Each structure stands twice: as C-alpha cells, then as structure tokens.
Amino acid sequence: MSLPYPTRQLYYDGKPQPASSGKTFQTTDPSNAAPLADVQLASTADVDKAIASAERAFPSWSQTPPIVRARILQKAASLLREKNDEIAKAETRDTGKAYTETSTVDVITGADVLEYYANYVGSGGLNGETTHLREDAWVYTKKAPLGVCAGIGAWNYPVQIALWKSAPCLAAGNTMVYKPSEFTPLHGQTLAEIYTEAGLPPGVFNVVNGAGEVGAYLTSHLSIAKVSFTGQVSTGKKVAGTAAGHMKYVTMELGGKSPLVILPDADVDSAVDGAMMANFFSTGQVCTNGTRVFIPKSMQAAFEKRLVEKISYVRAGPVFDEKTNFGPLVSKVHYDKVTSYIKHGIEVDRARLLCGGLEKPKLPQDLQQGFWVQPTVFTDCTDNMRIVREEIFGPVMSILTYDTIEEAVKRANATELGLAAGVFTKDINLAHKIIDQLEAGITWINSWGESPAEMAVGGWKQSGVGVENGHKGIEAWVRNKSTLVDMSGAVATVFAKL
C-alpha cells in the first residue's frame, strides 16, 4: 500500500542520499494513527558523511561575504512563504496540529526568523568594535563562526524550530547537520531542498534522521563545534554534559512549568482568554505553557464560571476543517503520558476536575483511533500535587488560589524550572514590578505565547542555557577575536639594560 508521502532520505552534499543502514521507521498521522511515510534511518557512517560534507563546505561558506549569505537566506525565506500552504499541510499531517494553526504560525514564524537574521548580517550586524586605546594603539574585534554545528529539533514545532536553529547558524557563517525529531520528520528534507533551491552551497545544511542514538552520536562527534537542542530537561542535561566534556558551545531550550499570575484587578474575560491560550493552544504541547494559573480567591468563582463557558470554544475535529482549533497529541507514547497525568490528578492528587478528563472528545468515526484528549482543567490545586509540579506537555490546566500578591509571586517561583511567566492586570506599573520578581527568562504582560523574531527567548534555572532569536540569539553562533595593534614603532619591554 502506498503511503501519502514519499520516503524521506538523508540529505548531504546538496542532495538526498540513501541511508546505508538499510533500515526505516514510519511517521504517523496523530489524528487517526495512519502511517504517513517511511523515513530512512541514519547509521553512524551516514552521520559521519553528513558531518564531512559540512566540514568541506565550511571554509568557503564562512568566508562568503555576509551580504551574499543574506541574499541566499532571503531567497529561502521567500520560497518558504511561497510554499507555506504545502508545507503547513505536511506539518498538520505530521504533528496533528490544526491546519488553522500550521498555515498561519509554523512556517511563517520560521521564515520571519530566517529573514530577520539575513537582514541583520546583511546590514553589518556581525561587525566588530574598535577602541582607540591610546594615541598610538587600537583594539579591534571580529566575530568568527564556530564551524560545523548540530541542531536537534523538537516534535511540537518542527519546521519553525529547524529554522530558529539554522537561520542564525547559517547567517553567521557556520554549517549545520540537523536531526529532526523521529516523531515529526517530514519537514527535514523539505527544508534542505528549499535551502538548495535558494542557492545554499552543498554541505552547508544537512539532515540525518533517527531517534536518540543518532542524536547522541551526532552531538558527541569531535568535529561538532556547537550543539543547539530543544527538548525535555532530562535529555538536555545529558546532551549538555556530553558537549561540556568536549568544550563545545551549547544552546539549550528545555522545559517549563510556567506560572500565569492573575492579579485582583484583572478583567476576568481577558484573564480567561489568556489562561486558555496558555494551556490549550497547540493542544498544550508548548514548552512555555502557563500551566499553573494563580488567581485571587475572591475571583475563583467568576473565573471558573467564565472558563467553563468558554471551553466550548475549543473545537476538536478534522484537522483540515477551518472550524477546528484543537488537534490530537503527537503520538501514542505522548498520549499515554498525558492521560496518566490526568488519571493521577483525579485519583491520587484528588484535585477537583472542573472539565475534561479521560474521555476522548466527540469525533467522527475515522478519527477514533487518533491520540485525542479533552482540554482538561483541575482546580483547588495545591503546590505539592504532581500535576502542579511536573511538566505534562498537554492541555491540562491547574488552578491555584492565593490570598496576597506576595504569596503568589513566592509560590510562582517555587520551582526548579524558569522558562516563562506572565501577569494579567490593569495596573501596568504593578505588572512591571511583578514581572521583575518572577524567575523566568520569557515573560508577558496581558498576553501569552507570542514570540517574534526580534524577541530573544531562553530559560532560567533548569529550563535552559542561552537564548534564541533577537540580536542576542546570533551571539551564540559566533566567537570573538580581539586584536591589539601597537603603532608606536617601539616594543614595550621590561628586559632593558640597566
């Protein structure tokens, strides 16, 4: 039986390449559990070949003038936008996310970042600094690329994350070997082909497919200068530990258990809208989700009443239906994980189930085998509950009440994670003060989730190392060289004749 998409191969030396392992794995449609494509599994020899291709390409690409690199990347961004609908359809089939989301967010936001960095380096963003040290001496700095870099993608925003990693990497003059998540690999070869069509030289962007063992071999390879990883905390720690042992540069964007603090003066409707966006967008499969919703006790009844009323606005259904805004979870493995947390919340934590639960939403017969859950809300939660402490990565909201703002801030910070946080209030001056106290690297006021190319994002504490996007984001892909030039004509020395 033929599958909807052709077999995905590896990609290096500027073209698709067959895997030498002779092995394949399948990617499936989460909405109905049907297979989508066979994906060729990279062997260690294949990874070696991809890295060698990147090594051969690095000397020329790193010396290519930034304005020339910029033109190629701008062309790639243009091609991504031209092919937006086609790529978004594949992303919907691969991730299960509603097409209303992938067609308006995933490809577009990735292309925005690519265009942002192309424009940045093309307009002199990588220029160094000069300092007139004294009358006859100057210091100047240069920013040099690192070399061959590894990018490890995540399954929740496949093409977007691939672009968030490759855009600054390539703009800075590095080359990359990229491994997509084994759960959502369709985009890898597509992106590589777009880069090639745009004029990217062979070997500058390469793709290998596989699961954790392929990623582990890639990131520990001695020829890799930097690892950029997006994923769960436990895996990120292992990757970072291996990289540190070889003195590699790293960027780690890891998990979160982020607090959303609603202040007493907040508009209830706006607060509910923010909490729903922070928990149910992308079926809750977003690392920055605000899953711990802190509300004043005096607001609890009104907040919960409005939330239950608005839950009907979350519409599960056929993923290409324009009315659908809520898809399935990405895989059977992840479905089992999320439902086990919901069961634990009901049976062990004994939080009050406000809505949702273990039953699947009502769906057409052809979607019954998919990995669907309901948007779920627990209330009367306490800080020690497992559903409150651990990252679930699904559409599960925990409501916690507080008496004072000082108490809410203290409890919001009582976690080893620090990816994101947000505040809803009409008092903007107070909002800034509260945001300043929250221990997180990405914060919002009266909003949740927007992450434009201009905004540097990254976690605090156990939620990561370094940032992506913004001017700061490209600094993680270059190294500094400082040179002091003495023009006096004499060499200062302590070894003079007495």
Using N-to-C axis directions, what is the helix angle for 107-122 and 158-171, rounded to 10°?
10
Helix (H) or strand (E) holding 142: strand 137-145
CA distance 450 to 158: 17
Q: Which of 324, 42, 395 is nearest to 189 (CA)?
A: 42
Q: What is the DSSP letter of 326?
A: B
CA distance 233 to 419: 11
DSSP helix, strand, coil percent of the chain (3-state; round to 5): 40, 20, 40
How far is the CA of 218 from the CAs of 232, 321, 327, in angstroms? Answer: 18, 39, 32
CA distance 450 to 431: 18
HSE, CB side, 13 Å, CA atoms: give it for residue 229: 30
Q: Report the 10 Å Cβ neighbour count for 79.
A: 17
Q: For the CA atoms of 300, 306, 307, 309, what is the dihedral angle to 10 degrees?
A: 140
Cβ–Cβ under 8 Å, residues 58 and 225? no
352-355: strand order across its sheet: 352-355, 376-379, 396-402, 292-296, 259-262, 420-424, 442-445
- In this structure, which amino acid lies at residue 17? Q
Annotated active-site residue in 91, 101, 115, 253? 253
Token pair of 302, please?
């009104």
In three state form, how does the secondary structure of 445-488 look? ECCCCCCCCCCCECCEECCEECCECHHHHHHCCEEEEEEEEECC
Give the angle 76-229-240 at the CA atoms, nearest 5°.
145
Cβ–Cβ under 8 Å, residues 229 and 252? yes
List, as one string, the DSSP characters of 252-263. EE-----EEEEP
Token pair of 311, please?
């839950």
Give catalytic status of residue 115 as yes or no.
no
Active-site residues: which are they? 253
